[in-house]
Structure 1
Amino acid sequence: MSDFIFGLHAVQNLLSSRPERVLELWIQKGRADKRISLLVDEARSQGVTVRFFERARLDAKVDGAHQGAVAKVAQAKVLREGDLADLLDTLKVPPFLLVLDGVTDPHNLGACLRTADAAGVHAVIIPKDKSATLNATASKVACGAGETVPLIQVTNLARTLVTLRERGIWLTGTAGESQSTVYQADLTGALCLIMGAEGKGMRRLTRDHCDTLVNIPMAGEVSSLNVSVATGVCLFEAVRQRTI
C-alpha cells in the first residue's frame, strides 16, 4: 500500500529522516527553482526515482498546496498499545505524553504533532475510532513531525489511561469549566496531557479517568481556542516547568 506526502518542507523532512519510505518523487514540470533542484538532488542521492508531471496530475493526487513536489510513500506504520508499552520501558526520563481525544480534523492533528515534536513529547496517543489519521494533509501540516514523534493508535483509550496511571503517569485533562488553570498545575514528572475535541472537549469516560483538570484562562470574548493552539499553550507551560 502507498500514500502521498506533499509540500516542499514535508517532503524534504521525509527524505532526510525516513528516505526508505519514499517510493517515488513526483515533481511539477517546469519547476526549476533552487528548492526543487535541491529536493531532486537529495532524492536521487538516496536512490529515489524522480518523475515529472504536469501540474494538473499533481493537483488530482493531493488535496492541498503541493508546491510542485509530491512523494509517493509506503504507508506509515501504525503503532499500537504494545508499542506504547515498549516505548515507555525504554525511556530514561519521566514520560511526557499527549493524548488527543476525538480530534477529527487532519489539519489539527498535523499541527499538534508538529507542536509535540517541538516540545519534546515522547508519543502522541489517539483512539482508533473518531479520530483523524496521519494522512497526506496531516503529514504536510506536521512538516515532518509525523515521522519523528511516535503516533500510537489505541483501541480502548480508557483502558490505556488506566494502564498509564498504573505506571505512575499523572493524567492531566483540559476542561474549560475547571477551577484550576494550566499555570497553577504541576506539570513536572511523569505526565500525560489530554486534549479534547474542539467544541465538545473530552469524552465523559476520558474525563472520568483524569487525575486533575485544568483550563486555559481566557481574557477576551472568545470562549475557547483551536485545539492545536490550546495544545501548544499547555505543552509549553509543561516544558517551562520541566526545565526551570
Structure 2
Amino acid sequence: MSTTRKPFPKGKKSPQARGARRSYVRKAGDSEADPYIYGLHPVVHALRNPSRTHHRLLVTANALRRLAEELGSAPDALIAGLTVEEASSNQISRIAGDDAVHQGCLLYCDPLPDLGLDDLHEPQRLLLLDQVTDPHNVGAVLRSAAAFALDAVVVTTRHSPRLTAVLAKSAAGALDIVPLARVQNLSRALEDLSERGFVTIGLDASADRPLEDIALPGPFALVMGAEGKGLRQKTRDTCSTLARIDMPGRMPSLNVSNATALALYITDRNAGKG
C-alpha cells in the first residue's frame, strides 16, 4: 500500500462509534436482517458487491489497513458516500456483542434485494435447503456453494434463517458472492426446476443409490434436509432422484454443512457426465 495515498478517509470518532445504535430505512430485502455485518471478509465482499447499499463503517486503525490491502488499488470508488469512523475494538463489541469475532470492523448496510427463481440468469447448478435454519450451518453452506461455483442457494420464505451478522460472518463473505433466492413452496420449486430440465437430487441416507452414481449431463439441483429431520416426505417425493453418501468410518453421518461440502464435491466431479 502506498505511503503517499490514503485509501480511506481518515476515520473520525463520533457518538455513534462509541456504541450508540442508528437506524436506517430498509428499501429492499429481508426486513428481519441485522442492520450491519462484521468481520474482515464479510465487509470486504459487501463493499465489493454493487447490490449492497452501504451507510457507515466503524473500523479500528489496524483493521482499516487490512481492509485497504484486501480492497486493492481502488478502494475509493467502493466507499463512495460511505461514512468511515474510527472506533476501538471494545466500541465495536458493544454494538456487535461481546462474543462477536468482528476483527475490528463493522459495516452498516441494507440487506440484499429479495430474489426468486425467475431472477436467476440461466442457472445450471443450484443448492436447495429444506428447512435448514441454523445460521452457522447456512453460513458454512454458502461458503461451500461459493467454493464450488454454484449459481444460487435456494431457501424457503418460512423456516429459513434470518440474514443475521452471525450468518454473514459464518459465510466469510459468500453471502455477497452466491445469490440467495427464496421460494414460497419448495416442492413446487422442485417441480418447476424439473420442467426446466434440471435433475433434482435429494440427499438421503436411506437412498438406494450413492451420489457418485448419479449422472449429471445438464443442470442439476442438490437438495439438503435439516440436520436431524432430513428431507421432508413431500420433498423426497418431489425430487427426481434420491442419493446417499457412503461413509467408510464408524461415524455414519455428517452435519449438514459438512455433508453439503462433500456432496458438492461429488456433484462437481459428476457434472457434464451422462
The Cα of 1:52 is off from its aligned counterpart by: 2.1
**Contact kept in structure 2, 1:188 and 1:238, CA below 8 Å:** no
Q: Aligned runs of 1:150-161 on 2, under 5 Å?
A: 150-161=179-190
Q: What is the percentage of aligned positions where both structures have the same residue?
A: 36
Give SS of 1:5's match: strand
**Contact kept in structure 2, 1:21 and 1:73, CA below 8 Å:** yes
TM-score (norm 2): 0.78
Aligned match of 1:67:
103
In the alignment, structure 2 segments of 5+ residues that lack a partner are 1-25, 27-33
Partner residue of 1:54 out of 67, 88, 91: 88
Larger Cα Rg: Structure 1 or Structure 2? 2
The CA deviation string for residues 89-130 of structure 1, in whole angstroms up to 9 with x for no partner, is x42xx7211101111111111111111112121111101111
Aligned match of 1:170:
199
- Structure with the bigger percentage of helix: 1
**Distance in 2 of aligned mates of 1:37 and 1:149:** 23
Give SS of 1:183's match: helix
The one-letter code matched in structure 2 to 1:152 is: A
**Contact kept in structure 2, 1:111 and 1:142, CA below 8 Å:** yes
In the alignment, structure 1 segments of 5+ residues that lack a partner are none
**Distance in 1 of aligned mates of 2:237 and 2:248:** 28
**Contact kept in structure 1, 2:216 and 2:272, CA below 8 Å:** no
Task: Tell me how large the CA RMSD over aligned residues is.
Answer: 2.3
Aligned match of 2:66:
35
Q: Aligned runs of 1:71-82 on 2, under 5 Å?
A: 71-80=107-116
- After TM superposition, which residue ranges in structure 1, 4 or more long, deviate above 6 angstroms? 39-42
The one-letter code matched in structure 2 to 1:3 is: P
Give SS of 1:234's match: helix
Give SS of 1:109's match: helix
TM-score (norm 1): 0.87
- Structure with the bigger percentage of strand: 1
Aligned match of 1:143:
172
The Cα of 1:243 is off from its aligned counterpart by: 6.0
Give SS of 2:103's match: coil
Partner residue of 1:16 out of 44, 48, 54: 48
**Distance in 2 of aligned mates of 1:159 and 1:19:** 28
Alignment pair present for 1:129 and 2:158:
yes
The Cα of 1:71 is off from its aligned counterpart by: 0.6
Give SS of 1:230's match: helix
Q: Report the count of equivalent residues.
A: 236
**Distance in 2 of aligned mates of 1:99 and 1:49:** 37
The one-letter code matched in structure 2 to 1:188 is: P
Give SS of 1:149's match: coil
Change (3 A) 1:221 1:52: same
Give SS of 1:189's match: coil
**Contact kept in structure 2, 1:171 and 1:211, CA below 8 Å:** yes
